Every structure is written in structure tokens, then in C-alpha cells.
Amino acid sequence: MKITKICCIGAGYVGGPTMAVIAQKCPHIQVTVVDLNEERIAAWNDKDLNNIPIYEPGLDAIVSEARDRNLFFSTEVDKAIDEAQIIFISVNTPTKTYGKGKGMAADLKFIELCARQIARVAKDNKIVVEKSTLPVRTAEAIKSILDNTGNGVQFQILSNPEFLAEGTAVQDLLNPDRILIGGDTTFEGQKAIQSLVDVYSNWVNADKILTTNVWSSELSKLTANAFLAQRISSINAMSELCEKTGADINEVAKAIGMDSRIGSKFLKASVGFGGSCFQKDILNLVYIAKSYGLNEVADYWEQVIIMNDHQKRRFSSKIVQTLYNTVSDKKITFLGWAFKKDTNDTRESAAIYVANDLINEHAKIAVYDPKVSSKKVLDDLNYLETRSIENNANSITSHLDPYEACQNAHAIAILTEWDEFKLYDWQKIYDSMQKPAFIFDGRNVLNGIELTEIGFIYKGIGS
Ligand code: UDX
Ligand code: ADP
């Protein structure tokens, strides 16, 4: 099938950047990204590119090049579905907060709504692509809905998981390690796979495009995220041991990372991983394993989450203990709130949990993050529902200037590894703080020796 029109349902962190790059690289294909959220679509269409809803280095330039040429953002979901030959589903699949599988299974209600909408609208054959990370065998459910409620047209379901990491999304999309496409082994299935391969072939080498069956593709995405997260929990587990023994986690990571069998990436000890994917996908894997009665498999992967929760809690406890066992009414400044640098995404950010612990100890938190709004900070805390909204609002403030945020603080905690933190005038910050002035570097990004020379009491992770 010659592809001339693509639609993507969901204009979020996955759908937005992915479709922008497809549109840039395939000027002959009309790409329409649709979302129910009118505010989000308006932001994607904002003439001022500073206002597009997702901050990703390089994304504004790509949107500027392709938007209104062959990239469109719209709330007219039915129209875009009707016109497209390929429909990507990029809606959110959060962990269930109710019912069976609560706190573990993926909530597929948004996926199901999309499938029903596609079935209702489609008047000709369509290729439906799962882009969101989904539990294994979701494609089967989508197919069943499409085939049983549709207008008698043919649907081919493909799994094409997205491996981009936030903060480097544009580079990851332009130069992917691999593109994975899973589809049916039937003739029609193979034809559908080829149509999608042809789209990616506009800029990705054939040897990087991998085709598999649907289930392998779905499971590979969960497995990749589980392996990456496991490395972080492994290094974080060793960081606690380093703190007890006098070893230095940065030195240990370097030493083991030089073993080519281990490799150097994803060995950075931290306050704990965040983001919308790792925890959700592992919980999902654990749930799937349990539902097949594979309890040892489930327990094995669950430990990655247990370790991550421990690392976040350990960080807040260390702050309390070091500050003479009380942070009550003390000002603690958080530099960083996003779950990693170069993104404005805060989902599952360690900062939220550390702040929550410290507010429970009656600390006053001041936040500075170069890309996260004060509303977002407060919304994140309120989402935990551990205290009243008024109490949260009285316990946390956000600042536009890092020096102002640090003024009179008893301690600074680094929660995100933003590059700009390394460039600050730390002497000026030290002079404006309460003494002794503490820094808890949850990302090991600052120079502990220099800070100690200034007078700070510096505590990194794993040393
Ligand atoms: C991840 C996967 O990397 C990506 O392939 C998938 O498509 C989505 O999930 P993302 O969550 O955007 O991407 O970012 P990632 O770079 O993986 O970081 C996740 C978390 O781990 C962040 O909080 C980061 O700070 C933390 N991290 C990462 C560490 O603590 N140490 C490391 O060495 C690497
Ligand atoms: P991700 O990180 O997976 O991209 P986001 O939450 O950033 O997740 O984006 C998902 C988007 O999908 C949201 O903007 C949401 O409004 C949109 N969405 C969810 N369900 C539907 C639907 N049925 N039709 C259109 N858009 C939807």
C-alpha cells in the first residue's frame, strides 16, 4: 500500500516528537496528530515555538519546518482516522489505580476507546500501529474490538514500540539503534509490515529495521525497559554498600563499565529512576508473570522497583539524619524537579517522593527547575493525595531564579542533573545560606572537592 496519510492518536511525549520526525523525513506523507485535549493541540499549534507542550532539544526546529506543510495538529479525531491509511495509537497507558491489577497492571481504557473509535469511523482497510508500550497480547484485544465492532473493513495490527528517551528524543528518533515492527505472519500481515518499513526507510538503514511477530515486539519493549531499570537499581544497591565501606560508586561504575560485556551506559548512581516508563513497565511485567503463575519471575523483577523505592527513601532519610535529625521548619532547596535533564516531564520523578517525605517531616521546600512550572510542582504533590492541598501549598514554593531559591536555605538537594547547576556561582550561594550549609547531590553532578573547599558539607550518592 502506498502510504500518503498517517494519523496519530495522542499528542504526548511519544506521539508529538515521533510524528514530527516522521513528517520532517517524509515530506510526501501528510501526518496528522490528534488529541482530545484541546489545550494541548492549541499549544502544538502555537506560533511561538517556546510554547509547544513538550520541551525536547531540537524539537522546535523540526516542528517549525514541518508544521502546516505536512504536519498537522488537530482535535478532529474522526476526520484524521477516516483519511489515514496508517493510524498510530500513542495514548497514555498508566498503571491502574482501581480494581483488579490496581497499582500493577496497565490501564488499557484509553487504548480500548481508541480501538472502538477507529472501528466506528473506518470505512476502508487500515493499518493500526501500537506505539504506546502495552502488555503482551494487547494487539489481540485491539484486533478483537476492531473486527467485531467495525464496518466490515480489514484491519492489520502492528506493534511498533518507541524506544526514544526523553531529553534526547529527537536524536533517538533521527538515529535510532533499531526500529522494531511486529506483525502477523500472514500475507496481509507481511504487507502491512512492509508499508511501515517503507515509511521508516526514508531515513533509517534497512539493517536497523527489525521485523518480528507481534508478541515478540510487545515483549521486547517491556524487556528493554526492565533491563535498563535493573542496571540502575543494581548500581544504586552498590551505592549504599559504597557508603558503608569507603568505596566510591563512580569509581566502581567506571571499573565495571570498562568490561565490554557490561558496558558503561546506565550505570549512573542516582536518587532513583523516574519517568513514565520504567516503573510502569516493570509493574506490568510483574503482573503478567504473576497472572501466568510465574511467581519467581515476578519476584525477580519486582525487586528492581523495591530497590528504587528504597533509594528514594534513603535519600530523604539521609537529609533528615544529617540535619541533626530534624528538618522541621528548615528551608531545603531542590535544584531540579524533572525526572531527568532536558525534559519538562515530571512523571514519577524522584523529586516528588523526596519532597513528600520531607514535608511529612515539616520541612519547607523551595524548588527551582529550569523547565517545570510551579503549578506542575504542586499538582505532582497533590496527586499523591497524602496531605491537603492547602498544606502542600504552604510547604512548597517554586522560584524562577536559582539564587533566590537557595537564599537562607539550610540545605540544597540536587534532584535532576541539569547541566546549568555545574556553572553556578557556588561561593555566592554558600554566602547566602544558613550555616553549616549542606549539599545533597542526588545525581553526583557537582564537584564535591571544590564545594568542600568553599565550606559546604557535601554528600553525594555512593561515596
Ligand atoms: C526510558 C528508556 O530509556 C527508553 O528507551 C524508553 O522508550 C522509555 O523509557 P526515559 O524514561 O525517557 O526512557 O529516560 P531514561 O534516560 O531511560 O531515564 C530514566 C530514569 O533513569 C531517569 O530518571 C534517569 O535520571 C534515570 N537514570 C538513567 C539513572 O538514574 N541512572 C542512569 O545511569 C541512567
Ligand atoms: P506518552 O508519554 O505515552 O506520550 P502522554 O500522556 O504524554 O503519554 O500523551 C498521551 C496523550 O493521549 C494525551 O495528550 C491524551 O490527551 C491523549 N489521549 C488519550 N486518549 C485519547 C483518545 N481516546 N483520543 C485522543 N487522544 C487521547
What is the CA(67)–ligand 1 centre distance, in A? 29
What is the predicted pLDDT for the residue at 136?
Answer: 78
Q: Which ligand is nearest to the CA of 19?
A: 2
Find how far residue 299's CA is from the centre of its chain: 24
Contacts of 323 (CB under 8 A, 6+ apart): 330, 410, 411, 438
Q: How far apart are CA 74 and CA 6, in angstroms?
A: 13
Catalytic: 277? yes
What is the predicted pLDDT for the residue at 102?
Answer: 87
What is the predicted pLDDT for the residue at 127?
Answer: 97
14 lines ligand 2 (CB under 6 A): yes
Residue nearest to atom 3 of ligand 2 (CA): 92
What is the predicted pLDDT for the residue at 120?
Answer: 95
pTM: predicted TM-score of the whole model, two decimal places: 0.95
Residue nearest to atom 7 of ligand 1 (CA): 163
Q: Pocket residues for ligand 1 (CB within 6 Å)?
A: 162-166, 225, 228, 232, 266-268, 270, 273-275, 277-278, 339-340
Q: Which atom of ligand 2 is nearest to the CA of 40?
A: 14
Q: How far separated are the first and last CA of the chain, in Å rounded?
A: 58
Are the C-beta atoms of 4 and 30 separated by less than 8 Å? Answer: yes
What is the predicted pLDDT for the residue at 426?
Answer: 98
- Domains, the chain: 5-204 (3.40.50.720), 214-463 (3.40.50.720)
C-alpha cell at 15: 506521539
Q: Which ligand is nearest to the CA of 176?
A: 1
Cis peptide before 436 (omega within 30 of 0): yes
Q: How far apart are CA 7 and CA 1, in angstroms?
A: 15
Are the C-beta atoms of 43 and 75 separated by less than 8 Å? Answer: no
State the DSSP string of 232-251.
Answer: HHHHHHHHHHHHHHT--HHH
What is the predicted pLDDT for the residue at 87?
Answer: 98
Are the C-beta atoms of 374 and 396 separated by less than 8 Å? Answer: no
What is the CA(44)–ligand 1 centre distance, in A? 25
Residue nearest to atom 20 of ligand 1 (CA): 273
C-alpha cell at 324: 541533626
Mutational pocket test of ligand 1: of 159, 270, 279, 345, the residue with most ligand atoms within 8 Å of the beta carbon: 270
pLDDT tens, residue order, the chain (463 aa): 789 999 999 999 999 999 999 999 999 999 999 999 999 999 999 999 999 999 999 999 999 999 999 999 999 999 999 999 999 999 988 888 899 988 888 889 999 999 999 999 999 999 999 998 787 788 888 999 999 998 899 999 999 999 999 999 999 999 999 999 999 999 999 999 999 999 999 999 999 999 999 999 999 999 999 999 999 999 999 999 999 999 999 999 999 999 999 999 999 999 999 999 999 999 999 999 999 999 999 999 999 999 999 999 999 999 999 999 999 999 999 999 999 999 999 999 999 999 999 999 999 999 999 999 999 999 999 998 899 999 999 999 999 999 999 999 999 999 999 999 999 999 999 999 999 999 999 999 999 999 999 999 999 999 9
Residue nearest to atom 7 of ligand 2 (CA): 12
What is the predicted pLDDT for the residue at 137?
Answer: 80
270 annotated to a ligand binding site:
yes
What is the predicted pLDDT for the residue at 412?
Answer: 98
